[in-house]
């Protein structure tokens, strides 16, 4: 069974502490000794996307966000706990030169079967060929990135090694002189 990892900040949702109307939901998060309201917008077609991906893969959310806030948010995305099989938070990331890197070996599974979708390429530096890049999303209601990604993910179901397929499709080498 293949694994699929997703970041979620600016990949699946966008959240902010600034008040705004037209959000999908809010969270009450307690940190730094006080309550904060977090305003969350879901990327277009997120619900359908998660349902489809959960049918094809073991779905893991891998985020560099703090657990205290990310846990609540994921609970809202998957209230019955039937879509997302595992959650990994900031404390499992590797901090290096100013950014969090996600090391896909921490679950001890065959990397040939692992895909990570993220909007920040720096997180890929340990396993570049497992990384599918996606544009950051903030508020565009016409965004179609998740829908357009589904056909490609379907081609990865059951393959022996996902890495050459990802590399050929999404990775481009710039030759500069």
Partner 1 sequence: MEEPSLEVKMPEADLKAVKFSLMTSSDMEKLSSASIIEMCDVTNAKLGLPNGAPQCATCGSQSVRDCDGHFGVIKLAATVHNPCFIEEVVQLLNQICPGCLTLKQNGDTKKDGAKLYPSVIFKMLTSPRVTLSRSKLHRNTSVMDKISIIAEVAGGVTHNSKNKAPHETLPQDFWDFVPDDNQPPQSNVAKKILSPYQVFHMLKNLDPELINQVTPRRELLFLSCLPVTPNCHRVAEMQYGHSDGPRLAFDDRTKAYKRMVDVSKRIDDCRQHPQFSVFASSVVTSRVMECLKSSKAT
Contacting residues toward partner 1, per CB under 8 A: 86, 91-97, 101, 103, 105-108, 119-122, 124-126, 128, 131, 133-135, 145, 170-177
Q: How far is the CB of 172 from partner 1 (least distance, A)?
A: 5
Which of 16, 101 has the CB closer to partner 1?
101
Which of 37, 128 has the CB closer to partner 1?
128
User: What's the residue count for the chain?
Assistant: 177
Crossing angle of helices 145-155 and 46-56, in 10° steps, is 10
Distances (CA, A) of 45 to 42, 142, 143: 8, 10, 9
DSSP assignment string, 10-33: TTTEEEESS--SS-SEEEEEEETT
Which of 23, 165 has the CB closer to partner 1?
165
Q: How far is the CB of 25 from partner 1 (least distance, A)?
A: 26
Of 144, 116, 148, 141, the C-alpha closest to 14 is: 141
Which of 72, 92 has the CB closer to partner 1?
92
Q: How far is the CB of 95 from partner 1 (least distance, A)?
A: 5
Which of 121, 164 has the CB closer to partner 1?
121
Tell me if 82 sits within 8 A of 51, measured CB to CB.
Answer: no
Q: How far is the CB of 103 from partner 1 (least distance, A)?
A: 6
- For the chain, the farthest-separated pair of C-alpha atoms sits apart, in whole angstroms, at 54
Q: How far is the CB of 80 from partner 1 (least distance, A)?
A: 17
Looking up tokens 């921490």 gives 106
């Amino acid at each position: 069974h293949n694994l699929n990892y997703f970041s979620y900040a600016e990949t699946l949702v966008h959240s902010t502490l600034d008040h705004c109307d037209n959000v999908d939901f809010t969270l009450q998060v307690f940190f730094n000794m006080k309550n904060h309201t977090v305003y969350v917008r879901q990327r277009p077609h997120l619900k359908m996307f998660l349902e489809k991906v959960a049918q094809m893969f073991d779905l893991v959310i891998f985020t560099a966000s703090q657990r205290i806030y990310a846990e609540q948010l994921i609970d809202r995305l998957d209230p019955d706990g039937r879509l997302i099989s595992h959650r990994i938070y900031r404390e499992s990331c590797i901090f290096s030169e100013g950014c969090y890197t996600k090391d896909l070996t921490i679950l001890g599974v065959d990397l040939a079967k692992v895909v990570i979708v993220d909007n920040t390429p720096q997180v890929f530096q340990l396993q570049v060929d497992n990384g599918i890049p996606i544009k950051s999303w903030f508020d565009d209601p016409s965004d179609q990135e998740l829908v357009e990604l589904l056909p490609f993910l379907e081609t990865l179901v059951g393959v022996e090694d996902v890495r050459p397929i990802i590399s050929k499709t999404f990775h481009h080498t710039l030759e500069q002189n």
